């Protein structure tokens, strides 16, 4: 064996890694690769949700996942433990979701789960086992370098562009990254499946999980009705010609607020064409669930007003109300993974930005003002939604993120 490989192997031997083993193929292969690299690996399964209210499928409960995860641990000769974090998950993720929807905003539970649970509460549990590192099956990568006498950690996109999950980790900090390992970030999904089959892992042919992180695939209105009451209100259609007249605004600092906030629709901007079950159940860009006919093209939600309980809609995928030139992130919601790259007041900087998972990176300019960051895109973006996260990249590196206002 090459001397450098032997040195790396010896360095890893004795280092303890706790991996979040979910019962899926990604974390299973991540665990296998860690074992191959010489780490002392312990498997820890998280129980985060018990309630099945609103679930679309009645099977595949956490008990099923735990059983499969334990089978993988036995196959790989790893100690297996279970930790119940459901109280923390409800308080820090699910309750936050309900609160955001009640305000007419659309949160991203997967980003919250990583920030609040996997790399916080769960990481603390892992450290109780004496872990040097905590590993997950995310498709992303980490590098590090030394500057000014301390280590700086970089969060990079995964090599598989179709599965890159760095966006979901956009709220991590330097301390969390210092302890994190992402063993499959350098390979693609087909290779992960191939390794799992080659090693005869019980998860080799298992389907990927879908829906809300740890809750699963749910009928969202039914799920939200656990705390949010249905409430009949008007659906108002806004003509495309009306919005087109409102969008001839020059991209200058004086116009940031006009460019970066959703247009404040009023009931007289359009006509009533139907009713809905509650404005807090809908989000910008949504098509399904309106159940209103009589149009040549589909209707999409342009905006919601939870105070008046009104939904504003527009006809067609190219309705100008679906598109905005920019967005705003308030100062208290700005998060820098690379704290050394924080922008100064009055500074502007070009980055690549995405506003949802799997969305291609879009060129944009960030403007740091006293009240927050204004992001203006080179091309208008469809479905910018309050409550979601915008993340900015420099090449493959994720630099920072924030909640859209």
Positive or negative CA dihedral for 28, 30, 33, 38?
Answer: negative
Please give the structure tokens belonging to residue 47.
């129980």
Q: Rounded to whole angstroms, how far apart are CA atoms 319 and 342?
A: 36
Residue with tokens 């292969």: 29
Angle at 324 between CA 311 and CA 271, to 5 degrees: 30
Q: Rounded to whole angstroms, how far apart are CA atoms 320 and 146?
A: 47
Closest CA to 336 of 346, 325, 351: 351
Beta bridge partners of 82: 45
Please give the structure tokens belonging to residue 84.
């119940």
Cα torsion for 201, 207, 213, 214, to the nearest 10°?
A: -60
Phi and psi dihedrals of 236, rounded to 5? -115, 125
Task: Judge whether 213 counts as a catalytic residue.
Answer: yes
Residue with tokens 């910008």: 284
Direct distance between the N- and C-terminal alpha carbons of the chain, in angstroms, rounded to an integer:
55
Q: Rounded to whole angstroms, how far apart are CA atoms 160 and 190?
A: 10
SS3 128: coil
Catalytic residue from among 126, 140, 170, 213: 213
Catalytic residue from among 60, 113, 170, 260: 113
- Tell me the CA distances in angstroms from 245 to 101, 108, 202, 321, 376, one per residue in order: 30, 32, 58, 11, 20
Closest CA to 354 of 142, 120, 93, 157: 157
Phi-psi region at 358: left, alpha or beta (left = phi > 0; alpha = psi -120 to 50): left
Q: Rounded to whole angstroms, how far apart are CA atoms 348 and 208?
A: 40
Beta bridge partners of 350: 365
Catalytic residue set: 113, 213
């Amino acid at each position: 064996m090459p001397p450098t490989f032997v040195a790396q192997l010896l360095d890893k031997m004795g280092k303890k890694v706790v991996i979040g083993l979910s019962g899926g193929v990604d974390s299973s292969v991540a665990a296998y690769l860690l074992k191959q690299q010489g780490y002392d690996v312990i498997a820890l399964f998280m129980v985060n949700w018990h309630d099945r209210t609103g679930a679309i499928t009645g099977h595949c409960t956490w008990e099923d996942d735990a059983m499969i995860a334990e089978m993988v641990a036995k196959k790989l000769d790893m100690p297996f433990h279970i930790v119940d974090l459901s109280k923390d998950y409800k308080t820090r993720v699910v309750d936050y979701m309900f609160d955001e929807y009640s305000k007419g905003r659309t949160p991203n539970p997967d980003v919250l789960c990583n920030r609040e649970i996997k790399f916080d509460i769960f990481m603390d549990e892992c450290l109780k086992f004496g872990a040097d590192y905590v590993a997950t099956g995310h498709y992303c990568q980490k590098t590090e370098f030394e500057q000014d006498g301390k280590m700086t950690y970089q969060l990079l996109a995964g090599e598989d562009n179709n599965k890159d999950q760095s966006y979901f980790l956009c709220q991590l900090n330097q301390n969390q990254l210092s302890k994190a390992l992402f063993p499959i970030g350098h390979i693609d999904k087909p290779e992960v499946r191939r390794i799992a089959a080659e090693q005869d892992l019980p998860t080799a042919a298992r389907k990927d999980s879908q829906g809300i992180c740890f809750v699963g695939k749910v009928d969202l209105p039914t799920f939200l009705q656990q705390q949010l009451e249905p409430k009949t209100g008007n659906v108002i259609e806004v003509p495309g010609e009306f919005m087109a007249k409102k969008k001839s605004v020059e991209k200058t600092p004086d116009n940031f607020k006009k460019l970066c906030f959703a247009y404040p629709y009023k009931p007289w901007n359009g006509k009533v064409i139907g009713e809905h079950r509650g404005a807090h159940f809908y989000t910008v860009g949504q098509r399904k669930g309106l159940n209103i006919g009589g149009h040549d093209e589909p209707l999409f939600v342009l905006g919601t007003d939870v105070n008046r309980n009104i939904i504003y809609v527009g006809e067609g995928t190219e309705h100008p109300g679906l598109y905005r030139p920019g967005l705003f992130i308030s100062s208290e919601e700005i998060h820098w993974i690379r704290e050394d790259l924080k922008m100064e007041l009055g500074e502007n900087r070009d980055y690549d930005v995405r506003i949802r998972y799997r969305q291609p990176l879009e060129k944009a300019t960030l403007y740091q003002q006293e009240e927050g960051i204004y992001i203006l895109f080179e091309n208008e973006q469809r479905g910018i939604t309050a409550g979601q996260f915008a993340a900015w990249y420099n090449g493959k590196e994720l630099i920072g993120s924030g909640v859209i206002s």
